[in-house]
């Protein structure tokens, strides 16, 4: 099972999307446009679809890292999957995407994300304002 499929399946189980296959197809197409693996071990697969209930972000980590055809050629260890309903404009998810990308530019935040073990500590990383 691909990383994308694994993440999408999780969101389907949680009732955030209505059809795994629609979303997997849409995300694969998005990767054809250009890898969302932006380097530094982080990828931001994203997109809009009719089969998405509400704006959702899924955080996933692979300790060994996987080949996601990242721009720097390095394995991807952290994924932020961002999904938005098709009837919403692009602005909402673009703003979220931009915020997450600025977050990982901070080396201390990125280090912490690479180690994070549970949801409360993940939320701490977003909320904490050191550096």
Partner 1 sequence: MREEFRLLIGLQDLDIMIKEVKDKATSQELKSMGFKLTGLEELQEARHEIAARIPVALLNRYEKLAKRYKLAILPVSGDKCLGCFVKLPTSFFSSAYSHELVTCENCGRLLYILRFNQ
Active site residues per annotation = 46
Q: Among 3, 5, 10, 25, which residue sits at the site for partner 1 (rule: CB under 8 A)?
A: 25
Say whether residue 86 binds partner 1 (CB under 8 A).
Answer: yes
| Window contacting partner 1 (CB under 8 A); options: 1-9, 42-50, 57-65, 73-81 | 42-50
Q: How far apart are CA 114 and CA 2, in angstroms?
A: 20
Contact 11, 83 (CB under 8 A): yes
And the tokens for 94? 């673009």
With vertex at residue 39, the alpha carbon angle to CA 33 and CA 42, rounded to the nearest 5 degrees, is: 90
Which among 41, 46, 59, 32 is positioned nearest to 95, based on CA atoms? 46
User: Among 38, 54, 31, 51, which residue's Cα sits nearest to residue 103?
Assistant: 38
> Pick from 4, 8, 45, 48: which binds partner 1 (CB under 8 A)?
48
38 binds partner 1 (CB under 8 A): yes
# binding residues, partner 1 (CB under 8 A): 35
Residues that bind partner 1 (CB under 8 A): 12-18, 21-22, 25-26, 29-30, 32-36, 38-39, 47-51, 53, 71, 85-87, 90, 94, 97-98, 101
């Amino acid at each position: 099972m691909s990383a994308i499929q694994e993440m999408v399946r999780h969101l389907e189980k949680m009732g955030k999307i209505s059809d795994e296959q629609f979303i997997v197809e849409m995300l694969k197409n998005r990767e054809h446009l250009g890898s969302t693996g932006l380097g530094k071990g982080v990828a931001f697969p994203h997109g809009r679809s009719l089969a998405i209930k509400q704006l959702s972000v899924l955080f996933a980590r692979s300790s060994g890292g996987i080949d996601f055809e990242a721009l720097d050629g390095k394995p991807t260890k952290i994924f932020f999957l961002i999904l938005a309903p098709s009837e919403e404009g692009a602005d909402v998810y673009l703003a979220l995407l931009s915020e997450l990308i600025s977050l990982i530019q901070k080396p201390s935040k990125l280090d912490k994300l690479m180690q994070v073990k549970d949801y409360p500590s993940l939320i701490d990383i977003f909320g904490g304002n050191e550096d």
